[in-house]
Structure 1
Amino acid sequence: MTQLRYLNGYPATIITQVQSLFDQGKLGLWLEKKYPDPHAIQSDKSLYQFVGELKQRYLKNAPALSKVMFDNKQNPIKGTLGTNTFVSRVQGGKLKANNEIRIATLFREGPEDFLRMIVVHELAHLKEKDHNKAFYQLCCHMEPDYHQLEFDMRVWLNWREIKQS
């Protein structure tokens, strides 16, 4: 039996279903059928445009983003798939603020739906710093299937890790 580390906290019945698909060799096929198309967002510039479009659509009044990039230091094993960093510093007589979003490089390979889910998560942090009810309501406003995509992304992470080992 394989350890499905990214599904910790989910009900045992769901973990059993995913484990069953894996044991039957059908998990990869299920994921490929549900998320068949790769995306074309491969550069930091295209990621910045992708994030900017979502921000403009849903969070027009949120602080501007100074940098958006893929980051190979983001690691799901360490618990980070993306980060939102807010830095304030005094420069001369002015207060300068920078907002950066960094997305794990592994999402270059994944389905666009998973990339969008991570981006929505990080954008929601512009308005809500904590993972509270308002945060998840904002995520669901920007991406109605947010919770399903998060679960499927966790399944994909397990499948990807098992496939590589």
Structure 2
Amino acid sequence: MTTLKYIAHYSEQIQTQAALLISDGRLDEYLEKKYPNQHEIKSDKALYQHINEIKNQYMRNVGPLSNVSYSSKLAVLKHALGIHTTQSRVQGSKLKSHNSITVASLFKDAPPEFLRMIIVHELAHFKEHDHNKAFYQLCCHMEPDYHQFELDTRLWLHWREQ
């Protein structure tokens, strides 16, 4: 079986099913049937508004987002699909925070569910820094289908490389 780098940590059963879809040339059919639409969030401004809506719905006590953007260099340089940064600094007698999220630009052409999965993942890091049980519980609170979207996003990444 060929190495499926994006799903290498998944169970052997899932890897076998994915490899079968790929070898039969049915991965694109599976993804297009399940996720027929692309989102319309193409600009950094639209991405900022979209992320802010999700943040305000689920994480009001997290400081405001200072910067949100797409980056074409992200997947290549960081081997990541999205990154978050948090900086706290003292300004006079107040503590100011600077929160930002960067999403790989390949998600401009992705189904909306995949973009949401990345956004939820990065927002959850503002509360939980590690990928632990609490982190994934928060992700599932914001997006109940988080784990399925994550798997399908990884399959979509394999499909894009073909």
**Does the pair score TM above 0.5?**
yes
**Structure 2 residue aligned with 1:54:** 54
Q: Cα deviation per residue 1:14-44 (whole Å; 9 max; x = unaligned)?
A: 1111111111111101101100001100000
Q: What displacement does 1:91 show?
A: 4.6
Correspondence 1:1-165 to 2 at 5 A:
2-75=2-75, 78-91=78-91, 94-162=94-162
Kept in 2: contact 1:63–1:126 (CA 8 A): no
Name which of structure 1's ranges 27-36 and 77-86 shifts more when overlaid on structure 2: 77-86
Which amino acid in 2 is paired with 1:61?
Answer: N
What is the root-mean-square deviation in Å for CA atoms of aligned residues?
1.7
- What is the number of residues matched between the two proteins? 162
Q: TM-score, normalised by structure 1?
A: 0.91
Cα distance between partner residues in 1 of 2:70 and 2:106: 9
Task: Give me the TM-score of the superposition, normalised by structure 2.
Answer: 0.93
CA distance in 1: counterparts of 2:36 and 2:14, whole angstroms: 23
The answer for unaligned runs of 5 or more in structure 1 is none
Question: Separation in 2 of the partners of 1:77 and 1:18?
Answer: 27
Show CA shifts across 1:46-93 (max 9, x none).
Answer: 000100110111111112111111111211785311111012234566
Task: Tell me how far 1:110 sits from its aligned partner.
Answer: 0.8
- Tell me, which stretches of 5 or more residues in structure 2 are unaligned? none
